[in-house]
């Protein structure tokens, strides 16, 4: 199946039909693809990703403001972060089969780990940017409402919107009278694709470890696991 047929298949899947087919195709072009395809006449998706990130944040902010009049600014900020973060966008991207349409270098195609998850999440933002450019605000809002905002109830029920690090610190100070200490146990990967393993300690005791593509994400996962281990 050629790329034009791929794009038609995706349009049918999301029920959005683009006036400019190239803007949709560009949303799937990773920078690495251009390094191996010098004559490809469409740019990579990073500018669309930049735009889509802002559009997504606006739509989600407006949604949360209207849906949860009882929640304060801090709660809505945490919920928004949970809805727009790379993990959530990756889940939505997998559900939409984004992986089937990506244009990647041979090297990137072989990587199916965390780096690919990050690419999928960024591509979701680029798709949102492309829909906004080609179809306008109401159409992109409808896309986000169909594919992303339905996850909010699951996020609330699983309490995954809560800042685990802050909550673990509160409980540790309240119950054991100590402040958690985070240490980077391991750091791997090149500068543009680092992977961190972080441990959280109470005094000298290692409670749990977490992994992430940043120290902050590793700390959050370590805190979440520590909360589970302590049954807090």
Quick: pLDDT tens for 118-172.
899 999 999 999 999 999 999 999 999 999 999 988 887 776 666 788 889 988 9
- Residue 122 assigned to a binding site: yes
From the centroid of its chain, how far is CA 84?
6
- CATH number, domain containing residue 177: 3.30.160.20
> Which of 157, 175, 209 marks a domain boundary?
157
State the catalytic residue, choosing from 39, 46, 53, 70.
53
Annotated active-site residue in 108, 125, 134, 219: 125
Q: Which residues contact 39 (CB under 8 A, 6 or more apart)?
A: none
The whole-angstrom separation of Cα 47 and Cα 184 is 33
Task: Residue 176: give the domain boundaries.
Answer: 164-230
Clarify whether residues 137 and 30 are in a common domain. Answer: yes
pLDDT of residue 75: 83
Which of 157, 187, 217 is the last residue before a domain boundary? 157
pLDDT at residue 108 in the model:
83
What local confidence, expressed as pLDDT, does residue 157 receive? Answer: 74
Residues 144 and 224 in one domain: no
Per-residue pLDDT, 160? 63
User: Within this chain, do residues 130 and 173 fall inside the same structural domain, yes or no?
Assistant: no
pLDDT of residue 192: 67
Shared domain for 190 and 143, answered yes or no, is no
Rounded CA-CA distance 185/115 in Å is 20
Where among 130, 157, 184 does a domain terminate? Answer: 157
* Same domain as 181, residue 151: no
Res 135: pLDDT: 97
Alpha carbon distances (Å) from 211 to 105, 114, 165, 168: 26, 11, 14, 17
Identify whether residues 190 and 221 lie together within a single domain: yes
Instruction: Using 50 as the pLDDT threshold, list the residues of the chain that sit under it.
Output: 1
Helix axes 73-84, 86-95, angle to 10 degrees: 50
What's the rounded Cα separation, in Å, for the pair 41 and 128?
A: 21
- Residue position matching structure tokens 């990967």: 189
The whole-number pLDDT of residue 107 equals 81
Q: Is 125 a catalytic residue?
A: yes
139 and 173 together in one domain: no
- Distances in Å between the Cα of 152 and the Cα atoms of 30, 68, 73 are 29, 11, 16
> Are 186 and 141 in a shared domain?
no
Answer yes or no: do 169 and 191 share one domain: yes
Q: CATH number of the domain that 85 lies in?
A: 1.10.1520.10
Of 16, 85, 24, 88, residue with least CA distance to 57: 85
125 is in an annotated binding site: yes
Total of domains in the chain: 2
Give me the residue label for tokens 């047929």: 5
């Amino acid at each position: 199946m050629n790329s034009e047929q791929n794009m038609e298949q995706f349009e049918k899947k999301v029920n959005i039909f683009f006036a400019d087919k190239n803007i949709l195709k560009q949303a799937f072009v990773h920078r690495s693809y251009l390094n191996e395809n010098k004559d490809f006449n469409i740019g990579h998706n990073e500018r669309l990703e930049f735009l889509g990130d802002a559009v997504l944040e606006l739509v989600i902010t407006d949604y949360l403001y209207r849906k949860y009049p009882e929640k304060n600014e801090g709660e809505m900020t945490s919920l928004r972060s949970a809805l727009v973060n790379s993990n959530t966008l990756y889940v939505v991207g997998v559900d939409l089969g984004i992986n089937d349409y990506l244009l990647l270098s041979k090297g990137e195609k072989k990587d199916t780990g965390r780096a690919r998850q990050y690419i999928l999440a960024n591509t979701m933002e680029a798709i949102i940017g492309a829909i906004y450019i080609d179809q306008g605000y109401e159409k992109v809002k409808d896309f986000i409402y169909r594919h992303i905002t339905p996850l909010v109830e699951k996020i609330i029920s699983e309490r995954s919107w809560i800042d685990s690090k802050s909550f673990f610190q509160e409980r540790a100070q309240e119950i054991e009278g100590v402040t958690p200490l985070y240490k980077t146990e391991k750091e791997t990967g090149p500068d543009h694709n680092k992977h961190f393993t972080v441990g959280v300690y109470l005094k000298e005791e290692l409670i749990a470890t977490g992994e992430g593509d940043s120290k902050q994400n590793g700390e959050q996962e370590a805190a979440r696991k520590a909360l589970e281990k302590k049954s807090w």
